[in-house]
Structure formats: C-alpha cells, structure tokens
Chains A and B, each alone.
Chain A
Amino acid sequence: AQSVAQPEDQVNVAEGNPLTVKCTYSVSGNPYLFWYVQYPNRGLQFLLKYITGDNLVKGSYGFEAEFNKSQTSFHLKKPSALVSDSALYFCAVRDEYSTSNTGKLIFGQGTTLQVKP
C-alpha cells in the first residue's frame, strides 16, 4: 500500500538559514512525488514534483527537493528561508501502478514550518 511519512510536526528555522522538511514514502512501483504548501485559510498550492530524471527538482518560490531512491525520501529544501515561508507543508505520493484511481494522491500528515526573524 502507498504511504507517506513526514516525521516532524514542526520545523523551526531562523530567517536566512537553510531549511529542510523531511518526507519518506512507500509505493509498489515508481513514485510520482509532490510537495504542496498551505497558507492559513487557503487551499493547497503546488510547489514541485518529481516524475523521473534528475534527483534534484526545482520548484516555486526558490524551493527544491531531493529525491533519494535508496532511502525512499523526497526532502524539501531551501537555501535561505524567509519569514513568509512560514506555512504548512505537505508531501504527497502517487503510485505509477495505481490504475484504479490514477489521480489519487496520498498525503503526509503535514509539517508546520516556522521561520523566525
């Protein structure tokens, strides 16, 4: 069965420092991986995705994510955090072999990122 784990409920980082939000996954076949961000009172916004190819994926707002197949991880990173990056972040996975519901994303529990000035 597909699953996603975000081991940290909250990540605290000082503005200007690099940030990492962790995500590990489990799927039967090759994964399609996504990161979303949710600001208060808003829906989830797509940040980036990994399909195949380069292990470092670049996305919106300066975010990037590193895919590691051997560790089944897809950690979200940013070289220099901004206060405005403070939000709730979700990792999600879709199994390439999930033919019965090809749109279904399995979401992690979410990680709250707090960036302090």
Chain B
Amino acid sequence: EAQVTQNPRYLITVTGKKLTVTCSQNMNHEYMSWYRQDPGLGLRQIYYSMNVEVTDKGDVPEGYKVSRKEKRNFPLILESPSPNQTSLYFCASSFAGGNSPLHFGNGTRLTVT
C-alpha cells in the first residue's frame, strides 16, 4: 500500500531533550516536506526537500533540522525542544511538479513540557 509513515504517533518529552520524528514513504517521491498544524494557524511548512541531499527552509524552520540521505526517508530533528514546539506534525511527499498532490502521514502529536 502506498503510504507515508510517521513515527511515533504520540510523543511527550521535556524541554531540551533531543528527539527525532521519522518519516518514510514508499512511492518513490522526489519531494518531501514537514508541516506543523496549530489551532487557528492552519498548516505551516517547516522544511522541505526536493531530492536526496537537497533540503531547504520553509516558513517556520527555527528550532528544527532535517536530513535527506535516502530518497524514502526524511526525519525531523528537534535538537533542544521547547514548549512552543508542542504541536501536531505532518510529513508529506509527492512527485516533483506543480500538479502532484501531497500525500500525508497520519501525524505526530508532540508535547514538550
């Protein structure tokens, strides 16, 4: 089944403790992206990747890192999480090209205390 898989689904952590949220897609998509969803703010892009070893900042990249060493994986790294990073995170992927829809994972709900 074609899908985007994120792990974990739920994560509670403390301020400053490094964490990684994994994302994997099995559709051979070139493009991958991370979004965060917050009430009243909709979805905002954190980072994106056009292909292997090509990553760039989205609209809200502060406090996050990503890597794209393989085409299928695009982990999101929080080196020193803070409470304002408490949010619902989505990984998404698509083929390159403007008319390709994004395919989303089921989300990771992160709470930072």
Contacts and interface: CB of A to CB of B under 8 A. Distances in A.
5 contacts: A32-B98, A43-B107, A46-B102, A103-B94, A108-B42
Contact of A110 (B42, B94, B99, B105): B42
Contacts of A95: 98
Interface of A: 32, 34, 36, 41-46, 49, 51, 90, 94-96, 98, 101-105, 107-110
B103 A49 contact: no
Nearest to A100: B56
Interface in B50-95: 50, 56, 58, 90, 92, 94
A98 B98 contact: yes
A6 to B, nearest CB: 9
Nearest to A104: B45
- Chain B interface residue number, banded: 20 to 34
A45 B104 contact: yes
A41 B105 CA distance: 11
A112 to B, nearest CB: 11
A23 B99 CA distance: 18
A104 B101 contact: no
A102 B97 contact: yes
Query: Top 5 A-B pairs ranked by shortest CB distance?
Result: A43-B104, A103-B31, A46-B101, A107-B43, A44-B104
Contacts of A41: 106-107
A103 B25 CA distance: 15
Contacts of B96: 102-103
A101 B94 contact: no
B42 A107 contact: yes
A88 B96 CA distance: 27
A88 to B, nearest CB: 10
